[in-house]
Structure 1
């Protein structure tokens, strides 16, 4: 049966998730509960989904910006270190490709720290070196709005490229071996990054604009540009970015297939952006709608509300006629390959 074949294939796969905001939920707890909360609430979900490689973004809610952004950034980084130390039998924070390879081989989950939007850095580019010392290895420079480094996709009408500090930040990240993430960056900013890039970049959670014209999605030209530079586009599963009305597993597969058709199978991964539990856990019900700029946040792909549902993606791809090697590539091998090659490689300038 297909279900049995899918389950066996998923168990054999290296599953990599390029974007899960679980740190937001962890960091809201008292510090002495960080490790135990992760073990109780999130580790079982990651294991049930087969996740062996997880990028953990540090996202700073609007409430903390601007004055508290750096403090909140450091708190979340500390939470990541403590949850890893308190669950060393199951997870490890990784800072190099060699770390990732070793941790996965030992049967644990490799965690990689990322900064999303960098409001705690602001114009102080030199602080990138600081967070790099603390283990951050992936970063984006804007969210929906305007930052010191660039405009987010919600500001596309401005047509802005990277600012002067943004150009410096990009060069620093390339020098240090931090992977630049174009998700949430405005369209002109993405184009600017692709002009500047001498190393592969990632889109950690972005889908196809050709299928749904939303500013959070990438154009075919941008997808092709990321692939041409050796990067990986990790498709977002957030329903409101995939289709106006139809929210099914097939909608996810449609976006995966389109990105593969443009980028090639070796440049596509998964960035599910599982936010339902995080929003429910961290936000008062009256305020949830404000967080996603009018986009409905109560729409989810049935079964894909969290990591536990990831085997359904494998099943859906098999039903669509995908070959097993292609499924394994998109489930995680492509993202793993990029991180093994680029994480911690310094100084090409």
Structure 2
């Protein structure tokens, strides 16, 4: 039963770093390597919508980071063009729906932090023209735009350039990602945002006290603005003990976020990093990130092939089919249909540029969907 449900539902993965491994190879092999190494995994996992972040390591200076950002964006387009029978880069919700109707996997290009942008806000429209539709503005440390969650002790809000980036993203129709952003930065974004935001790969802090996870207050605030929190599968973000690296613990995080934020505001952002690290980390370097065991995985969930196990566990926990469909991808699709690639002037209810939303004011797609309403186009 779970396999049929998983196959029929729209499954959206809002964070897979596969572009890092594909772009590390010669450009002439990008399409073929994706087809041989990653496409089978996505298909077996039933993934219908795949967000592809371009992540640039901190050792790049801004000019080098910009070059690498452009290279990874080009990689996404090249692998899509070389596998046009299977995948498609999509710029808005209607293009995602069309890709799904054609049996293709919809790819959405994202930025994880913006080291290539530095403080040059004027380059955001360029990145938008190249297909970027989701973006965050910090990783672990400090950027010209904001502090990442590893710098929470600074209690720093967005810089003036960070505020300008948020405003420009809202104008363009790029969905703002709060994952990795410091706690004060998250609060700042939720205070001034006029459009819904997404957390592409963040879990529940009350269940695992780590700065990469979101507090219940933050979960409620994201939901109040119409956004979606997509749960990270990385074992070390789910539990502080190896015995907690289980699919049951993952389900605990999913269901806690559903209870706190509402079942209409939770999705999946697996962050399958093990294969990426094995492929790219030199033998002399450590796999760990700031003391975390980033190689640890939930049994069966070390890559996209394991995604149906989530559906099985949610069914076992008594979650009704309608809610499972929302969690697997329906909620992300609702957000993407309403916000992705839609300029502010074309998004009903969004204040004009420079006009802040009053605290507590409603935004499009806010709150639970009416009982029985369909989340899906197929």
Contact 2:15 2:200 in 1 (8 A): yes
For residues 16-55 of structure 1, the aligned pairs below 5 Å read 16-55=12-51
Q: Gaps (5+ residues) in structure 1?
A: none
Runs of at least 4 residues of structure 1 off by over 2 A? 62-67
For residues 145-160 of structure 1, the aligned pairs below 5 Å read 145-160=141-156
Confirm whether residue 138 of structure 1 aligns to residue 134 of structure 2: yes
Aligned to 1:181: 177
- Mean Cα displacement is larger for which, 322-331 or 58-67? 58-67
Q: 2:281 aligns with which of 257, 273, 283?
A: 283
For residues 96-135 of structure 1, the aligned pairs below 5 Å read 96-135=92-131
Contact 1:154 1:186 in 2 (8 A): yes
Confirm whether residue 197 of structure 1 aligns to residue 176 of structure 2: no
What is the SS of the residue equivalent to 1:137?
A: strand
Confirm whether residue 318 of structure 1 aligns to residue 302 of structure 2: no
- How many angstroms apart in 1 are the aligned matches of 2:104 and 2:63? 37
What is the SS of the residue equivalent to 1:110?
A: strand
TM-score using structure 2 length = 0.90
Larger helix share, 1 or 2: 1
Kindly tell me the number of residue pairs found equivalent between the two proteins.
Answer: 344
Q: CA deviation at 1:68?
A: 1.1
Q: 1:228 aligns with which of 224, 227, 233?
A: 224
- How many angstroms apart in 1 are the aligned matches of 2:14 and 2:173? 17
- How many angstroms apart in 1 are the aligned matches of 2:57 and 2:142? 14
Structural RMSD (CA): 0.9
What is the SS of the residue equivalent to 1:233?
A: strand
Aligned to 1:343: 340
TM-score using structure 1 length = 0.97
- How many angstroms apart in 2 are the aligned matches of 1:171 and 1:62? 25
Q: CA deviation at 1:67?
A: 4.1
What is the SS of the residue equivalent to 1:149?
A: coil
Q: CA deviation at 1:65?
A: 3.6
Q: CA deviation at 1:22?
A: 0.2
